[in-house]
Amino acid sequence: MKKILITPYEDRSRFCLHSDYMNAVLGEKGLSYVLPQTADEEILKAYLEGADGLILSGGGDVEPALYGEERTPLCGEAEPERDKMEFALCRLALEMDMPTFGICRGFQVMNCVLGGTLYQHVPMAENHDRCDLPKDAVHTVSIMEGSRLHDILRKTETGVNSRHHQGVKKLGQGLVATAFAQDGLTEGFELPGKRFFLGVQWHPESMYAKYEDARKLFAAFMAAVKGQ
Ligand SMILES: [Mn+2]
């Protein structure tokens, strides 16, 4: 069976992960493993070598210094150990061409690792910060024809949940934007030439139980994962 690593957040000396991530991997008959937080590249590489795919999960804000900006008051608290770990992990996964699925914060991490920047608080944040409806489609995104995302979903528009107040400002090098909210915010991208290096700003793991498009995304990720 295919082994998927998932990054956690840390809360009061506990590594935590919302059950939706593991349930979505289970739904695809995959095995999932929550990583510890470490920036030790030897350890991270060994984890990646023993696995088949990586999910960079959702969470808090990336430290602005990591994309060359000064912190503004609306930027959330940083999680420095998590930043270090996920940046290192994402770079290693790119080097190894490990299938990588970035979700929300994970999508933002991917962008920063490739030299992109973030809005510390998007101007239209009230349209996107809809934590009151965590599992429901609250806005649509248009999907670019010719993209892998379009190949997966086979449509030019889908409904997504929206639990973010930050967003992609400058796109990272080589990334192709594939999904846009009506206000123009980038909500999906992919890196052509890789087995699977795709990120979305929304949370498909939370829509997995109810929405076919969320299931299609996880199925496509798992299909790109080779298994051992
Ligand atoms: Mn949104």
Contact 59, 9 (CB under 8 A): yes
Distance 182 CA to ligand 1 centre (A): 10
The domain that contains 150 carries what CATH number? 3.40.50.880
Q: The tokens 């984890």 sit on which residue?
A: 47
Token pair, residue 43, equals 């350890």
Distance 206 CA to ligand 1 centre (A): 14
Number of domains in the chain: 1
C-alpha 220, offset from chain centre: 15
Distance 138 CA to ligand 1 centre (A): 8
Its domain, for residue 10, covers 3-224
Q: How many degrees, rounded to 5, is the angle at CA 141 between CA 174 and CA 113?
A: 30
Summarize the chain as % helix, strand, coil (round to 5). 35, 25, 45
Q: Residues in the chain, how many?
A: 228
3-state secondary structure of 38: coil
Q: What's the mean per-residue pLDDT of the chain?
A: 97
pTM of the model: 0.97
pLDDT score for 228: 52
Contact 118, 168 (CB under 8 A): yes
Which of 205, 224, 223, 225 is CA-nearest to residue 215? 205
pLDDT single digits (tens) 185-215 = 999 999 999 999 999 999 999 999 999 999 9
Based on the residue annotation, tell me whether 203 is a catalytic residue of this protein. yes
Based on the residue annotation, tell me whether 75 is a catalytic residue of this protein. no
Based on the residue annotation, tell me whether 205 is a catalytic residue of this protein. yes
Alpha carbons 129 and 125: distance in angstroms, whole number: 6
User: 149 Cβ partners below 8 Å, 6+ apart?
Assistant: 143, 178, 179, 188, 190, 198, 200
pLDDT score for 227: 63
Percent of the chain whose pLDDT exceeds 70: 99
The active-site residue out of 104, 112, 128, 164 is 104
Distance 185 CA to ligand 1 centre (A): 8
